[in-house]
Amino acid sequence: MNNYMLLIMAAFLIVFMMWSSRSRRQQMQKLEQEKRDQLAAVTPGEWVRTRVGFWGRFVDLDGDIVVLETSNGHEMYWEREFIAEIGGQPPLADAEQAGADADEVETVEEDASVLGLDQEDAQSFDVRDTDEQQK
């Protein structure tokens, strides 16, 4: 009697595992099809983000290969699976931030005169400061 019960429980476990994997596989196929449909509907020029963090503009789709354009005009080829987001906005610096950087340079010049540095020392200080900002 114990052997029959053990066989029934093992059969139930195997059936449950098969059912679970089948439903998971169907769900993955559905998500893959939605991703294919979404890529097919993308218009050239839209921003696309890859899974590794690269932002580029969509150029073309050729089967499973997606062609993205960099900001300087070069085209890069990516596998369809690497596309993470379509139609978002890349995190580029705003014009306000560029204006804030210009204000920082002015305050450095003012600080140099307040500290009593000579004009030559202030100029060398500005050069070092801009080198550090570039790094």
Which two three-digit tokens encode residue 59?
Answer: 């150029």
Helix locations, 41-94, DSSP H: none
Closest CA to 90 of 74, 76, 73, 70: 70
Helix (H) / strand (E) element for 62: namely: strand 55-62
Domain ranges of the chain: 1-41, 42-96
Provide the whole-model pTM.
0.49
Under CATH, which number does the domain 42-96 receive? Answer: 2.30.30
Contact yes or no for 78/60 (Cβ under 8 A): no
Tell me the C-alpha distance between 60 and 57, whole Å: 10
Placement of tokens 């499973």 in the chain: 64
Tens-binned pLDDT, residue by residue, of the chain (135 aa): 778 889 999 999 999 999 989 989 999 999 888 888 887 778 888 898 898 989 999 998 888 888 999 888 899 999 988 888 888 788 776 644 555 555 555 555 555 555 555 555 545 555 555 555 555
